[in-house]
Amino acid sequence: MTTAKNKYAIGLHIWVNEDSGHFLGKGRIQLLENIKSTGSITKGAGLMKMSYRQAWQMVQDMNSRADQPLVEKILGGKGGGGAIVTDAGNKAIRLFYGLEEKLSKYATQLSEKIKL
Amino acid sequence: MTTAKNKYAIGLHIWVNEDSGHFLGKGRIQLLENIKSTGSITKGAGLMKMSYRQAWQMVQDMNSRADQPLVEKILGGKGGGGAIVTDAGNKAIRLFYGLEEKLSKYATQLSEKIKL
């Protein structure tokens, strides 16, 4: 149910650009979360039907745009190593959802005043 | 040149939903503006490589979701009549850009605090 007051709602998509290009969007955040949950770039990419190559390029691009790497490879060991999301990577995930939440809240406030 | 403070920028897309579906987005606002500048749904649609049929469906959908029609056909006269953007339609255009501006301003504020 919706009252007349809330007839309209504002939807939004956000992303974060760095100086020279795209830095973080929903897909990249999803990739970080998948790497975090699987401990592997290959497996993390697989969860979203992305190739390892694509995912690794995305990771390298993100790493190069942040002051510190968001994902690090762990070399060696059984199974040929994996990958971890760093503290900076976790911060990036929280940052993105935080921005989304703040902007959505403001959008909700604005939408309550819409009358057409 | 960019200072460290402004290294990151937040990008956003917005749209407005009505109770039961999509109401206003960048494309629909563009269509309203094109109808306004050409005085015709056919010509307005043509400016954005849209068919009359698509544009007319879009107009009908917008009209049905607003309290008052955003576009009205003017029947008869030489050339078979045209279309005008109503006061409510002009209000919708201003509303959309106003929402975009307010949310973008807030996004800029938020982006100044990003550090990764």
What does pTM read for this prediction?
0.86
> Do the chains contact at B7 and A13, CB–CB below 8 Å?
no
> Do the chains contact at A116 and B7, CB–CB below 8 Å?
no
Selecting from B88, B99, B111 the residue whose C-beta is nearest the C-beta of A110 gives B99
Q: Is B104 a domain residue?
A: yes
Number of domains in chain B: 1
Q: Residue B80 has what pLDDT?
A: 59
> Do the chains contact at B111 and A13, CB–CB below 8 Å?
no
User: What average pLDDT does this structure show over A56-73?
Assistant: 96
Q: Residue A59 has what pLDDT?
A: 97
Q: Is B35 a domain residue?
A: yes
Q: Is A116 a domain residue?
A: no
Query: Min CA distance, B80 vs chain A (Å)?
Result: 29
> Do the chains contact at A12 and B12, CB–CB below 8 Å?
yes
Structure tokens that stand for B17 in this block: 């939903």
Task: Please report, for residues A114, B5, B25, the alpha-carbon distance to residue B97 in angstroms, rounded to integers and kept in the order given.
Answer: 13, 27, 10
Residue A95's Cβ-count burial label (10 Å; 0-12, 13-18, 19+) is buried
Range of the structural domain that residue B45 is part of: 17-109
Residues of B in contact with A116 (CB under 8 A): 66-68, 70, 88, 91-92, 95
Q: Is B1 a domain residue?
A: no
CATH of the domain at B74: 1.10.10.10
Model confidence band, residue B78 (pLDDT cutoffs 50, 70, 90): low
Evaluate whether ipTM surpasses 0.90. Answer: no
Q: Residue A7 has what pLDDT?
A: 87
* pLDDT tens, position by position, B27-47: 999 999 999 999 999 999 999
Say whether residue A113 is in contact with chain B using an 8 A CB cutoff: no
